[in-house]
Amino acid sequence: MDGNVVVITACDQRYFPLCLDLLMSLQKACGGTLPRVRVLDVGMTPASAAALANIVEKVIAPGWDVGGDMDLPLWYRAMTARPFLPRYAGDAEMILWLDCDLWVQRMAPIQSLVDAARDGAIAIVEERYGGGFKAEARPHDGGKGVFSTSESQVKANMRQGYQSCFGAEAADAFGDLPCLNDGGFALLAASPSWAVWQSLYAPALARHYHPTVEQLALNVGIRRGQVPVSIQPQEANFTCHLELPWYDPSSDVFTFPGDAARVLGAIHLCDAKHFPLLPIPHFPDGKARPMPLDYRAVTTFIQDKACTRPSKVKP
């Protein structure tokens, strides 16, 4: 990744460990050298912000680009800043946004986002409705419960967001379509698509607060043909709230479900970040086995597995 590209993410104190995971995984995927990275501070402690400032190009505390009079939670600046990222990109020509609950397993699919965006289109991944997943949740009261996600739940949430923020016509047109996920995308800093996104987002947020309204606004712009798009493969941003990836024990990598040849580049945890263990299907039979999915826990899991693997060296 060349010096004209800047990676931007956002982080509050709760997500600080995940942000470190993103940075460590990105550095490893880039061969040991971290590319240009800027972090939007949307609620870190001064100590955490200072720690990141020693690692990345710049830590920036954004203001409210829109919605400052709405009494929104401070972390929501990670969303209000997103359509305005050129303000925070310095002299970079290309912006690569990566959510901090995403980690990088392979760099090639991430680089494909950047390469696909060089002609001015936004390079982004369309989510795929999978089979969802179920996992044991541990509520704060110490009890146990089962968390589940499904296609119908996701569609209902998106339809409600479109209805509340854009009206019935948008809900009918786009409510059942998979979202183009803005947790990982690339776009030229000088693209006119930013202004289109901003013009759709501001009135939608003023109409109704929905946690993903900035993503819905981008989707409206793309679906209506106002924002040129280059849709990229799932490997560039595999979103785990719709389906869990598969794990290949023979090569210690996560892949697209059922296809060992499609090694994932970006593993976007989404709802999966709340669970220390998840029922991950394993090759060759697809049988689910409990294992972690966050970066450092996966790294430890693989290292421990390597230590216990029988040696092939004969005495």
Interval 223-247: pLDDT, tens: 999 999 999 999 999 999 889 999 9
Interval 117-136: pLDDT, tens: 999 999 999 999 988 888 87
Look at residue 116 in the predicted model and tell me its pLDDT: 98
| Cα 283 off chain centre by | 25
Catalogue all structural domains in the chain, each as residue range(s) with its CATH number.
5-132+150-236 (3.90.550.10)
Contact 196, 226 (CB under 8 A): yes
Does the pLDDT of residue 35 top 70, yes or no?
Answer: yes
Mean pLDDT within 298-305: 91
Q: What is the mean pLDDT of the chain?
A: 93
